[in-house]
Amino acid sequence: MPEDLRTRSYPVGIAGVALEQLERNVADDEAPPLPPNARLSVIGQSTARLNGPAKVTGRATFTVDVKLPGMLHARMLRSVYPHARILSIDTGAAERQPGVRAIHVIEHPLGRAQELPGPGEPGDAHRRVRYVGDPIAALAAVTPKAAQAALERIVVDYQPLPFVIDLEDARRSDAPRVFDRPVRTEFFLGPAPQLPQHGNVHGPDTSASRGDAAAGLRAAELIVTGEFRTQVQTHCCLEPHALVADWRPEGLTVYISTQFTAGIREELAEAFGLPLNRVRVVVDAVGGGFGSKSRIGNYVLAAVELSRKAGAPVRLALDRHEEQIDSGNRPSTVQRIRLGARRDGTLTAVAIEAYGTAGVALGASVGNFAQSIYECAAFALEQSDVFTHAGPGCAMRAPGNVPGAFAYEQVIDELAERVGLDPLTLRERIDASPLRREQRRIGAERFGWSRRQPPGSSPGTLKRGLGMAQSHWPALIQINSSCEVRILRDGSVEVRSSVQDIGTGITTVLAQVVAEELGLSPQDIAVHIGDTDFPAGPPSYGSRTTASITPPARNAAYRALRLLMEVVAPSLGTTAERLIARGGRIGTLDASRSITFREAAAQLRNDQISAVASRSDDYGGFGRRMGDAAVGRMGLGGVQFAEVTVDTETGRVHVERVVAVHDCGRPMNPRQIESQVHGGILQGISYALFEERILDRHTGHMLNPNLEQYKILGARETPAIEVHVLENYQGNSATDAYGIAEPSIIATAPALANALYNAIGVRLRALPMTPAAVLTALGRVPCGSVPP
């Protein structure tokens, strides 16, 4: 063993089921193994959000609240056509408007697929806009009103072109082309091989396939098939995409509502040719992101450009209409699934053909759900992106796996019915996860699964149904995540990282981690985050924040404490190794001598001691590494049970109750985890029953670009929700903690769909499951008229 490694023993397994000790060789400067939560005083305890009072009293500063002296206000001009060539843009009249300080014409927009220029080909002489809302220009003026008035003076000469917004229409060979040339294939994680492109169809991507699915299907004793459709969902962040850009000779500062301060800094530095030390990105409170605030967009570049031109800070906040049409969305999908199985329910083959549209962007894949969740040696996945003249999709809470699970978990239930097994029994046979086994057991018991009746047997008009579905999500880690812990001479403690709290509560979790290590309480810790002047933290997407930043936070606290103990050990007549911090005191292991933490800090020679730590590799190694990200060896999961009532005369589905059993490694703050799971379930119900972007077939305009006509679940659609979180120890890091944001939404829609089927005996294979869809499925809608 190398000298800097040390063998240590970690608890491994599910608390309350089976806990063992596992020996691992870990670096010497790692904080020692943490016992299970039952033996800790702060971690694992429900702790109220430290920034909760500021939020509920309106004191918290969101980006939209940021006001700088001399700040200008920007607005963006957007295409009113779904497809057009811009012959000319005349900004002269706008420039002469009173109060206008800068105008920026967007020539190379981001956030969409990028065409590969052919050899020796000149670029287009004129820019094309490709969706209603495609940004064309931006300007900054002294008031929002002046900006809006000037915006209306910009004269754009459009040459409208044929367009296609329907997914099926766009697949036809004679459909209007969104892109004339092949586009660069992009994967969220790492490089990808170039895929074929015919017309608007980019793909298929078959890289997730394994084994011989054709042979597996031939060997099957029965085959279950299904075609599923999912709609476009928008993120609907309550705080819009917003920033204040402040370009100065000495550097650029950007206040922005973002999920990744450090990433925005890198992107801005690259876009504007600035060194990293001249770019600072700051965020305090964030009003929702759900994936849509992960990267810079055209609005960010425009605001920075305007600030540079005007020599003044520029504020740009999208309005609700812009949010709905141009801040990303969850792509729609069509999935054709064939399952080959034996009569005992085990799978011989899975074949999925999927296509979907992220409008002018790529990324409509169905994720890794079907390929990862159940055992099957033969798996064939062909997935294609279809371009349409519609606003770009982007990552949205468990991208791919949400539509993927809606389809796959229904097919699995169909298989269970075909082979005469209870849905839980079938999953016992094909799901190797020991976590989900325990989750099914707990969930079934708490939910009362034994009450479930045969499909369609519920009597009367109001039918009751019970269903369940499972969740799978990879455990992602950002390996370049760093955190600093400072102990100041007055005994106060500070945590510093650029990691941002997008409402998920990492502020409080960081305070807990450091408090546990230093023997203090969370309220004693000042958490300073959301600023790239601090060590670079992870993004808050991919459910990776907690897994990435809590181990370095604990290690930094541990190392800072060691330094403090070195200082105070002589005064306690011992050595640092024989000291322990607990209950606000530092003392000897036998508790015979101790001083308060504050007295200890007062002995410092300098004003502070500080330690910075970065995320170490998982002690057991990563499953996969892709750039700055890594995938843990074990996935995250969960099982959700839903009880619904269906009014068979009006088609309305009401969710009465959801029982959710999840895992996220070591649960850090149960109350916050429960809150996250509530959010996932509510967003999942809303996706399953209500939300849908509706585009006008004749003009390509979104017809419900607000929060009135775009339907979202409200208080009265909120069911009783019970959350149970397993403590799952893996001995992988200094905290062994993982995320829960995405696993918590994946199982909801399919659990509702399976419950709906159980209620009415007819399966709905398209989202959202509206009254129109339910009545149509029940054959109650008069012929000749069907919902569009």
Partner 1 sequence: MNGFEWMSPGSLEQAARAASATVATAMACRSGTPASDAAVLKAGGMDLLDLMKEGLLSPRRLINLRTLPGLDRIEPAGGGLRIGPNVTLAQLAADERLRTRWSALADSAGGAASPQIRQIATLAGNLLQRPRCWYFRSRAHHCVRKGGETCFAFAGENQYHAIFEHNGCAIVHPSTCATALVALGARLEITDRAGAKRTVSLEEFFLLPQADLQRENRLESGEIVTAIELPAQPASVRSVHLRYAQTESFDRPLAEVAVVLDLAEAVCRKAAIVLGACAPVPHRARAAEAALTGQRIDEALARAAAHAALQDAMPLSGNAYKVPIFTAVVRRAILAALVA
701 binds partner 1 (CB under 8 A): yes
The answer to whether the beta carbons of residues 306 and 140 sit under 8 Å apart is yes
Q: Which is nearer to partner 1, 209 or 770 (CB)?
A: 770
Q: Which is nearer to partner 1, 518 or 689 (CB)?
A: 689
709 binds partner 1 (CB under 8 A): yes
- Binding marks (x or -) toward partner 1, 69..98, rule CB under 8 A? -----------x------------------
679 binds partner 1 (CB under 8 A): no
Segment contacting partner 1 by CB under 8 A, of 274-282, 522-530, 598-606, 697-705: 697-705
711 binds partner 1 (CB under 8 A): yes
What sign for the dihedral angle of Cα 521, 611, 541, 366? negative
Q: Which is nearer to partner 1, 596 or 699 (CB)?
A: 699
The residue from 177, 617, 699, 762 that contacts partner 1 (CB under 8 A) is: 699
Segment contacting partner 1 by CB under 8 A, of 229-237, 291-299, 577-585, 715-723: 715-723
The residue from 123, 191, 459, 782 that contacts partner 1 (CB under 8 A) is: 782
User: Which of 739, 749, 757, 773 is CA-nearest to residue 658?
Assistant: 749
Segment contacting partner 1 by CB under 8 A, of 111-119, 402-410, 498-506, 646-654: 646-654
Provide φ and ψ at 726, rounded to 5°.
-75, 150
Q: Please list the helix, strand and coil fractions of the chain in percent, rounded to the nearest 5, in that order.
A: 25, 30, 45
* 728-729: strand order across its sheet: 18-27, 5-14, 728-729
The residue from 652, 657, 678, 724 that contacts partner 1 (CB under 8 A) is: 652
What is d(CA 609, CA 12) in angstroms, rounded to the nearest whole number?
34
Beta partners for residue 226, in sequence order: 337
**Which residues ranging from 109 to 138 are in contact with partner 1 (CB under 8 A)?**
132
Segment contacting partner 1 by CB under 8 A, of 353-361, 508-516, 624-632, 766-774: 766-774
Burial of 633 (0-12, 13-18, 19+ CB in 10 A): middle
With H, G, I as helix, E, B as strand and everything else as coil, classify residue 144.
Answer: helix
Q: Which is nearer to partner 1, 476 or 646 (CB)?
A: 646
The answer to whether the beta carbons of residues 495 and 485 sit under 8 Å apart is yes
Q: Which is nearer to partner 1, 459 or 782 (CB)?
A: 782
Segment contacting partner 1 by CB under 8 A, of 105-113, 242-250, 447-455, 772-780: 772-780
Q: What is the 3-state secondary structure (H, E, C) of 203-234?
A: EEECCCCECCHHHHHHCCCEEEEEEEEECCEE
Q: Which is nearer to partner 1, 108 or 716 (CB)?
A: 716
Q: How far is the CB of 696 from partner 1 (least distance, A)?
A: 6
651 binds partner 1 (CB under 8 A): yes
717 binds partner 1 (CB under 8 A): yes
Segment contacting partner 1 by CB under 8 A, of 184-192, 284-292, 662-670, 780-788: 780-788
What is d(CA 590, CA 140) in angstroms, rounded to the nearest whole number?
67
The residue from 407, 677, 713, 725 that contacts partner 1 (CB under 8 A) is: 713
Segment contacting partner 1 by CB under 8 A, of 12-20, 203-211, 647-655, 723-731: 647-655
The residue from 110, 223, 712, 762 that contacts partner 1 (CB under 8 A) is: 712
At CA 368, angle to CA 383 and CA 200, rounded to 5? 20
The answer to whether the beta carbons of residues 702 and 694 sit under 8 Å apart is yes
Q: Which is nearer to partner 1, 563 or 778 (CB)?
A: 778
462 binds partner 1 (CB under 8 A): no
772 binds partner 1 (CB under 8 A): yes
Which helix (DSSP H) or strand (DSSP E) does residue 103 occupy? strand 100-105
The residue from 56, 591, 703, 720 that contacts partner 1 (CB under 8 A) is: 703
What is d(CA 348, CA 218) in angstroms, rounded to the nearest whole number?
9
What is d(CA 219, CA 234) in angstroms, rounded to the nearest whole number?
42
Segment contacting partner 1 by CB under 8 A, of 93-101, 357-365, 433-441, 696-704: 696-704
Phi-psi domain of 120 (left: phi exceeds 0; alpha: psi -120 through 50; beta: other): left
The residue from 39, 108, 451, 698 that contacts partner 1 (CB under 8 A) is: 698
User: Which of 738, 691, 703 is CA-nearest to residue 396?
Assistant: 691
The residue from 92, 649, 671, 720 that contacts partner 1 (CB under 8 A) is: 649
The residue from 704, 721, 761, 762 that contacts partner 1 (CB under 8 A) is: 704
Residues across the chain: 788
Burial of 720 (0-12, 13-18, 19+ CB in 10 A): exposed
Which helix (DSSP H) or strand (DSSP E) does residue 170 occupy? helix 167-171
762 binds partner 1 (CB under 8 A): no
Segment contacting partner 1 by CB under 8 A, of 300-308, 335-343, 465-473, 649-657: 649-657
- DSSP code, position 142: S
715 binds partner 1 (CB under 8 A): yes
58 binds partner 1 (CB under 8 A): no
714 binds partner 1 (CB under 8 A): yes
Q: How far is the CB of 781 from partner 1 (least distance, A)?
A: 5
145 binds partner 1 (CB under 8 A): yes
Q: How far is the CB of 713 from partner 1 (least distance, A)?
A: 7
User: Which of 541, 543, 540 is CA-nearest to residue 530?
Assistant: 540
Q: Which is nearer to partner 1, 126 or 145 (CB)?
A: 145
784 binds partner 1 (CB under 8 A): yes
The Cα-based distances of 444 to 250, 373, 423, 437 in angstroms read 61, 19, 11, 11
The encoded tokens of residue 255 equal 């206040």
What is d(CA 705, CA 786) in angstroms, rounded to the nearest whole number?
24
What is d(CA 509, CA 716) in angstroms, rounded to the nearest whole number?
31
What is d(CA 690, CA 360) in angstroms, rounded to the nearest whole number?
24
Q: How far is the CB of 716 from partner 1 (least distance, A)?
A: 4
The residue from 180, 198, 697, 720 that contacts partner 1 (CB under 8 A) is: 697
Long-range contacts of 15-18 (CB under 8 A, 24+ apart): 15/726, 15/727, 15/728, 15/729, 16/727, 17/438
Residue 787 preceded by cis peptide, ω within 30: no
Q: Which is nearer to partner 1, 160 or 627 (CB)?
A: 160
- Binding marks (x or -) toward partner 1, 210..229, rule CB under 8 A? --------------------
Task: Give the residues lining the site for partner 1 (CB under 8 A).
Answer: 80, 132, 145, 647, 649-652, 689-690, 694, 696-699, 701, 703-704, 708-709, 711-717, 770-772, 775-776, 780-782, 784-788
